[in-house]
Amino acid sequence: MKIFYLAAEAEPYIKVGGLGDVAGSLPHALQEITAPNSIDIRVAIPFHGALQQQPPPLKFLTNLFIPHYPQPLQAQVYELENSSVKTYFINGNCFAQDAPVYSADASLDGIKFTFFSLACLELAQTIDWQPDIVHANDWHTAPALYALLVQDETFFRHTGRVLTIHNLPYLGHGAGEALTEFGLPPALNSPLPVWAQQLPLPLGIYAADRIIAVSPTYAKEIQTADFGAGLQEYLCSRRNDIVGILNGLDLKVWDPSTDPYIAVTYDLHNLDKKENNKKLLLKELGWQPSPDTPLIAMITRLDYQKGIDLALSALRKMKDIPWQALILGTGNAAVEQAVAQLQLDIPDRYKAILRFDPHLSHRLYAAADMLLIPSRYEPCGLAQMIAMRYGTVPVGRATGGLRDTIQDSGNPHTSTGYLFESASSDALEETLRRAIQNFAQRRAWRKMQRNGMMQDFSWARSARQYLNVYQEVVEKKILDPVVQEGSS
Ligand code: ADP
């Protein structure tokens, strides 16, 4: 089976968020779970400015011309050397050396990602490699699927179209004009709502044979008004094509028994050693370690989605009981300010560290007793899975992937963490108080930590589900190659 996997970012070459984790891991996991040479999965990512400054070993492959009005644009394709998964880096004038992966200017991003999406299809034709599946991710590469649908090239007549939605509300607003420049017309006669007929992600959804949401709960949530970003009715009409598949974790990177960034490694059988990581971190912060005071961590983008305001207001109301808290995050300026403000009010037990710091994040996962994730919505979420692997108990809102990965039975012996339903600081406070109370019950707490550490968050499990989706789509194409229009 030949899979062409398109993404705006992929680890270890370039990563901004969760999409980078997935695009870096899933293709390798697919190779690992299948017989040698039974799957030919190839990845393409843009040759972003940051990559050009420090490129991995590459060889030039080919030049391409991408249809564009008023004149075609040139792309250069490079191929990664010595990689088990073939990976292409696509460059062009729209990838400036100093440009970020995602810019604040939606129209610029529209041009660059539409250019990239179409260049991937041009590349497949130029090297005469007919993929069975083109797998796009989020709005950035969704135009590739729409182009396959409307351009209806003979070369791609057996190619199935799969889209993963990592974060639905990012529809690609402002990128619509770029589609027209590249010859992709609005889907005027489609069942999409009129406002969505020229937006990359809705067009990708429309064109996709299968739509994957990154958790089973998120797959259901996107069909409701609260989470559907206005597309809920259309998504409901496609319910039979929607599948929820949880992301996996890179278990080699996130392993407390081998983690090179943490002071004291530990595992399920010597969990007492975890405490040393807490002591060391607290000492660095100038805080007194106390076995009876839980260390609560948040490691997150500072975005409205993440419910930081709920956490700040709950913590403010809980000064009557012992806890210490540390937030590591960057993002929205107003949220950063609110996060910093609490430190002025209670500097003796709360600290904000406003930067992106992967090394510190490892140390914090190892040191903390609890990880707080009060997200308003959370398509999948990796942080809670990492926390559980490190014996750090997650306290999360019952939404999306948090609901699917955290088990809260009300009894620590049979739970892996805590969930609260309503996106309110009261609900969070109540649950956090419950967690802090349980923290004092040593044996029960240890059981809960172990329960979390024993969960299987491997990519192998998710990769098998992706493989099933690919197989279904391929079979459908073989049985009925002419069913192209709007699928469902
Ligand atoms: P999202 O993709 O919505 O940002 P996830 O929970 O899926 O949320 O993934 C976030 C990832 O980014 C996790 O691996 C988390 O540890 C990491 N992360 C978030 N903020 C920071 C930060 N300030 N420093 C280091 N790592 C961070």
Q: What is the pLDDT of residues 19-38, one digit of tens each?
A: 999 999 999 999 999 998 89
In a domain, 198, yes or no: yes
In a domain, 256, yes or no: no
Q: What is the pLDDT of residues 201-223, one digit of tens each?
A: 999 999 999 999 999 999 999 99
Alpha carbon nearest to ligand 1 atom 13, residue: 383
Ligand 1 atom closest to residue 361's alpha carbon, by position in its atom list = 25
Q: What is the pLDDT of residues 224-259, one digit of tens each?
A: 999 999 999 999 999 999 999 999 998 988 999 999
Residue 80: pLDDT above 90?
yes
Of the pLDDT bands very low, low, confident and very high (cuts 50, 70, 90), residue 105 is confident
106: buried, middle or exposed (CB in 10 Å: 19+, 13-18, 0-12)?
middle
Predicted local distance difference test score (pLDDT) of residue 152: 85
Q: What is the pLDDT of residues 331-364, one digit of tens each?
A: 999 999 999 999 999 999 999 999 999 999 999 9
Alpha carbon nearest to ligand 1 atom 20, residue: 300
In percent, how much of the chain has pLDDT > 90?
91
In percent, how much of the chain has pLDDT > 70?
98
**Mean pLDDT of the chain, nearest integer:** 95
**Claim to verify: residue 371 and residue 302 sit in the same structural domain:** yes
Do β-strands 58-66 and 73-80 pair in parallel, antiparallel, or remain unpaired? Answer: antiparallel
**Claim to verify: residue 78 and residue 152 sit in the same structural domain:** yes
**Claim to verify: residue 50 and residue 115 sit in the same structural domain:** yes
**Claim to verify: residue 312 and residue 341 sit in the same structural domain:** yes
**Claim to verify: residue 206 and residue 298 sit in the same structural domain:** no
Of the pLDDT bands very low, low, confident and very high (cuts 50, 70, 90), residue 18 is confident
Closest to 336 in 3D by CA, of 300, 372, 367: 300
In a domain, 231, yes or no: yes
**Claim to verify: residue 234 and residue 302 sit in the same structural domain:** no
Residue 488: pLDDT above 50?
no
Ligand 1 atom closest to residue 384's alpha carbon, by position in its atom list = 6
In a domain, 227, yes or no: yes
**Claim to verify: residue 190 and residue 124 sit in the same structural domain:** yes
Full-model pTM: 0.93
Residue 344 belongs to what domain range? 268-456
The average pLDDT across 66-76 equals: 96
Of the pLDDT bands very low, low, confident and very high (cuts 50, 70, 90), residue 104 is confident
In a domain, 131, yes or no: yes
In a domain, 262, yes or no: no
**Claim to verify: residue 45 and residue 193 sit in the same structural domain:** yes
Residue 487: pLDDT above 60?
no
Do β-strands 242-244 and 58-66 pair in parallel, antiparallel, or remain unpaired? Answer: unpaired
Answer yes or no: are the C-beta atoms of 141 and 203 closer than 8 Å. Answer: no
**Claim to verify: residue 365 and residue 466 sit in the same structural domain:** no
Q: Is 17 in the pocket of ligand 1 (CB under 6 A)?
A: yes
The average pLDDT across 414-436 equals: 98
Mutating to test ligand 1, I would choose from 301, 304, 326 the residue with most ligand atoms within 8 A of its C-beta, which is: 301
**Claim to verify: residue 474 and residue 428 sit in the same structural domain:** no
In a domain, 277, yes or no: yes
CA of 14 to the centre of ligand 1 (A): 14
Q: What is the pLDDT of residues 288-304, one digit of tens each?
A: 888 899 999 999 999 99
**Claim to verify: residue 241 and residue 135 sit in the same structural domain:** yes
The token pair at 452 is 């979390």
Answer yes or no: are the C-beta atoms of 216 and 404 closer than 8 Å. Answer: yes
Write the CATH number for 305.
Answer: 3.40.50.2000
Predicted local distance difference test score (pLDDT) of residue 485: 46
Predicted local distance difference test score (pLDDT) of residue 96: 87
Cis status, amide bond into 256, omega within 30 of 0: no
Residue 476: pLDDT above 90?
no
Mutating to test ligand 1, I would choose from 26, 255, 299, 371 the residue with most ligand atoms within 8 A of its C-beta, which is: 299
Q: Is 11 in the pocket of ligand 1 (CB under 6 A)?
A: no
Predicted local distance difference test score (pLDDT) of residue 481: 57
Q: What is the pLDDT of residues 157-191, one digit of tens each?
A: 999 999 999 999 999 999 999 999 999 999 999 99
Answer yes or no: are the C-beta atoms of 110 and 103 closer than 8 Å. Answer: no
**Claim to verify: residue 423 and residue 474 sit in the same structural domain:** no
In a domain, 487, yes or no: no
Total number of domains in the chain: 2
